């Protein structure tokens, strides 16, 4: 299932509604920081442990007493959302802490008191020579930029009588949002706010909104959007199940509702080619389409100045080519930050822009029946030979010419990135996982550092069958231990699903 974010501006809210949204955002931010402070010790202990982390384990940290204390922040409508976000942020922190022991604990909301405390702590560390001037300046600058920033308010589900939902006035052809922001004691009179409107829920059967007499704990706000968003909203009238969780966000005194929306997908197309899409030295993108046997079917450039609107243009161009050739698109991971693209001009796509393009393609390609793009490591992309896969800086003969010193493959340098990406999947399927061998006093030690696998063979042994048997058992028993390590998972997956384990590894 593929999702995209539908960004809708809340159109000219009244002063009262602004105050209600500001209050809800502030309380949510304060309560979230309270949870993170309350369970800091427990989360740091989990980070140091080697046990698998699940959402249930993190949910169970929040005991009844703590859940009751959350009521002090008047966040009764958001308790479930807070638990979900707490689990997500905690899992992310634990994963980062295990990879990098110096990772800092999350600071989600910085009020005046905490700001003064954090700044004082930075000064103490600087005065004690525990951090250099550059780190001191960076941390102080970051704290200043974070001070008072409100966290977005998460709505964990789409529902008519809780969290949030959309409303539609078919006579005016306008969309509204119904946001539950208040608890019972702060509910407001129903009044005649719906006068002149004919609102229906964007829900199965489109039931009408009939305000009940008394008081209400929600507000209704009109929405503003562009043509693309309007087309997406029209689709939800026919299929409300496309709407999922959402966030209320405040940016520069404006309020937005960011909805997580399921993308409609066509029937899946049969993929026949691979298409590598890399950043281009003159600017824009290069793409290369390769057939099943690695033969190049087309090379091309997509030149465009990098701005937000042009990213949609680039995405649509790529989707068009991919649909024409029925391609599996292959992109650079991490925005291509490590591709070592030489002579990068100002007009070239930045890593952030390239990363944003990948996000667009993740829902645009499935909408056309094609698989989402595969992201592969961009390390030394422009130093890697597309023919043999060998990587070295010596392959760069000049700023414009690439000649592989191993196989002799030659090409203009600007095409190397997209060609390497297009052939990366084929090379991946043929590459074998290395098992290193080291001689010890007790025998031959066979191991793989990524997996953490080891197997000792007796001195003079030439039968490697015990290694394969031990490795197969090791792979079957490690399920769940690699969830936070993508590299380890990739190696495990390749070996675990290999038709013949002996042909999937090589000894070195």
Q: 3-class secondary structure for 317-343?
A: HHHHHHHHHCEEEEEEHHHHCCCCCCC
Per-residue pLDDT at 66? 92
Q: How far apart are CA 47 and CA 70, in angstroms?
A: 25
Strand partners for 286: 278, 301
Most distant pair of Cα atoms in the chain: their distance: 90
Per-residue pLDDT at 479? 64
Report yes or no: 97 and 44 within 8 Å, Cβ to Cβ. yes
Q: How far apart are CA 439 and CA 446, in angstroms?
A: 9
Q: How far apart are CA 157 and CA 383, in angstroms?
A: 47
Please report which residue ranges of 39-148 form alpha helices under DSSP H.
Answer: 40-48, 55-61, 64-69, 79-99, 112-127, 133-146
Per-residue pLDDT at 3? 81
Q: How far apart are CA 225 and CA 234, in angstroms?
A: 12
Per-residue pLDDT at 482? 47
Quick one: which of 84, 91, 77, 93 has its CA closest to 62?
A: 84
332 phi and psi angles, rounded to 5 deg: -80, 135
Per-residue pLDDT at 402? 86
CA atoms within 13 Å, Cβ hemisphere of 95: 14
Q: How far apart are CA 501 and CA 469, in angstroms?
A: 9
Q: How far apart are CA 474 and CA 361, in angstroms?
A: 37
Report yes or no: 220 and 178 within 8 Å, Cβ to Cβ. yes
Output the six-digit token pair for 46: 């989990």
Neighbours of 194 (CB within 10 A): 15
Question: Helices H, strands E: what count in the chain?
Answer: 14, 21
Strand partners for 5: 260
Q: What is the mean pLDDT of each run of 10 residues along the chain (508 residues)?
A: 86 93 94 93 89 87 92 91 93 89 86 84 86 86 83 92 92 93 86 73 90 86 92 91 93 92 74 88 81 84 65 87 91 81 64 87 87 84 82 81 87 84 78 83 83 81 80 77 65 80 81
Pairing type for strands 218-224 and 3-10 reads antiparallel
């Amino acid at each position: 299932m593929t999702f995209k974010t539908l960004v809708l501006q809340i159109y000219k809210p009244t002063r009262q509604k602004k105050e209600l949204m500001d209050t809800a955002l502030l309380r949510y931010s304060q309560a979230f920081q309270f949870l993170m402070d309350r369970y800091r010790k427990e989360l740091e202990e989990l980070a140091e442990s080697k046990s698998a982390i699940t959402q249930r384990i993190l949910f169970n940290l929040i005991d009844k007493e703590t859940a009751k204390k959350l009521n002090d922040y008047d966040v009764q409508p958001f308790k479930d959302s807070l638990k979900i976000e707490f689990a997500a942020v905690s899992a992310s922190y634990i994963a980062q802490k295990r990879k990098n022991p110096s990772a800092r604990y999350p600071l989600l909301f910085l009020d005046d008191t905490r700001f003064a405390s954090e700044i004082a702590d930075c000064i103490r560390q600087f005065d004690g020579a525990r951090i250099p001037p550059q780190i001191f300046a960076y941390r102080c600058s970051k704290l200043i930029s974070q001070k008072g920033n409100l966290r977005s308010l998460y709505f964990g589900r789409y529902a008519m009588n809780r969290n949030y939902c959309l409303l539609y006035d078919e006579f005016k052809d306008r969309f509204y949002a119904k946001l539950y922001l208040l608890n019972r004691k702060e509910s407001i009179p129903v009044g005649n706010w719906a006068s002149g409107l004919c609102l229906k829920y964007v829900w199965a059967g489109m039931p009408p909104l009939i305000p009940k007499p008394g008081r209400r704990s929600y507000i209704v706000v009109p929405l503003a959007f562009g043509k693309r968003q309007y087309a997406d909203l029209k689709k939800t009238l026919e299929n409300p199940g496309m709407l999922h969780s959402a966030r209320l966000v405040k940016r520069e005194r404006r309020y937005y509702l960011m909805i997580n929306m399921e993308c409609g997908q066509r029937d899946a197309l049969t993929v026949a080619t691979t298409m590598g899409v890399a950043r281009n030295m003159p600017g824009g993108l290069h793409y290369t389409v390769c057939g099943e046997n690695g033969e190049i079917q087309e090379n091309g450039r997509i030149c465009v100045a990098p701005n937000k609107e042009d990213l949609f243009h680039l995405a649509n161009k790529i989707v068009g080519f991919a649909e024409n050739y029925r391609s599996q698109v292959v992109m650079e991971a991490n925005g291509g930050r490590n591709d070592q693209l030489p002579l990068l001009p100002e007009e070239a796509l930045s890593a952030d822009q390239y990363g944003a393009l990948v996000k667009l393609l993740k829902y645009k390609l499935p909408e056309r029946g094609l698989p989402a793009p595969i992201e592969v490591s961009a390390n030394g992309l422009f130093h890697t030979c597309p023919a043999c896969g060998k990587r070295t800086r010596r392959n760069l003969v000049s700023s414009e010419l690439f000649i592989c010193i191993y196989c002799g493959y030659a090409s203009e340098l600007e095409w190397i990135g997209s060609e390497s990406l297009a052939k990366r999947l084929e090379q991946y399927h043929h590459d074998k996982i290395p098992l290193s061998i080291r001689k010890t006093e007790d025998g031959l030690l066979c191991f793989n550092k990524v997996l953490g696998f080891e197997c000792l063979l007796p001195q003079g042994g030439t039968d490697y069958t015990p290694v394969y048997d031990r490795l197969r058992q090791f792979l079957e028993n490690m399920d769940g231990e690699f969830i936070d390590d993508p590299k380890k998972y990739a190696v495990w997956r390749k070996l675990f699903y290999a038709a013949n384990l002996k042909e999937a590894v090589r000894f070195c």
